[in-house]
Chain A
Amino acid sequence: DAGVIQSPRHEVTEMGQEVTLRCKPISGHNSLFWYRQTMMRGLELLIYFNNNVPIDDSGMPEDRFSAKMPNASFSTLKIQPSEPRDSAVYFCASSWTGRGGKLFFGSGTQLSVL
């Protein structure tokens, strides 16, 4: 299995632009998570899907952030409009909840908003 696949690996954009991050979970996993990592705040859980349905989005910082999971093999995290304080590494992770909740992380997207 290729693992969790995220794209792009790096994204540099200007303030105000729309940013879309993409994630393909491991085949057969039924839960998907978006995390954000910064030096100041560490790893923050943004949103969590189970069987393609958003279960907990309490970590989404603002209405500028939105996430979708149209099917079991694809999810997006969108920021519109982007701001410099959104600069971070965004990780997608997936799991099979029947196996103790262990998460498998993608390589992350390094986002820089100028």
Chain B
Amino acid sequence: ELKVEQNPLFLSMQEGKNYTIYCNYSTTSDRLYWYRQDPGKSLESLFVLLSNGAVKQEGRLMASLDTKARLSTLHITAAVHDLSATYFCAVDKDGGSQGNLIFGKGTKLSVKP
């Protein structure tokens, strides 16, 4: 059974600090997805990482993928309150690109002044 594990599950940060969220998965997928969910809202796609070594950055968020280690990281630089949300990583259930995604439990990030 495919497993997608995130850690930490809860993260409280001070504004201006850096931190990394980790996502481990058990399949041989060569692509990984990161989503953001604000409280009471839907999921919004952040990054699609399509190959080993892929790195994508948007604003204060940077995501990377190591398919050999089956590990993806989401790095937060100089956190601001607007980044407070739950972040999910996801992997295709069949290891391909069908979009049949299995999600991690999510990391609830709270950025405090």
Contact = CB atoms under 8 A, between A and B. Distances in A.
A45 B99 CA distance: 11
Interface in B1-56: 31, 33, 41-45, 48, 50
Given A45-B101, A45-B102, A56-B93, A106 B48 contact: no
B75 interface: no
A102 B99 contact: yes
A100 B31 contact: yes
A14 to B, nearest CB: 24
Contact of B103 (A31, A43, A107): A43
Which of B48, B50, B88, B98 is most buried by chain A, counting CB atoms within 10 A of its CB?
A: B98
A8 to B, nearest CB: 15
Interface range, B side: 20 to 34
Nearest to A32: B99
Contacts of A31: 98-99
A83 B57 CA distance: 43
Contacts of A100: 31, 48, 50, 97
A1 to B, nearest CB: 15
Given A45-B100, A56-B100, A101-B31, A106 B105 contact: no
B88 A101 contact: no
27 contacts: A31-B98, A42-B103, A42-B104, A42-B105, A42-B106, A43-B103, A45-B101, A48-B99, A55-B98, A55-B100, A56-B93, A91-B43, A97-B98, A100-B50, A101-B48, A101-B96, A101-B98, A101-B99, A102-B45, A102-B48, A103-B45, A103-B99, A104-B45, A105-B43, A106-B42, A107-B42, A108-B42
Interface of B: 31, 33, 41-45, 48, 50, 88, 92-93, 96-106
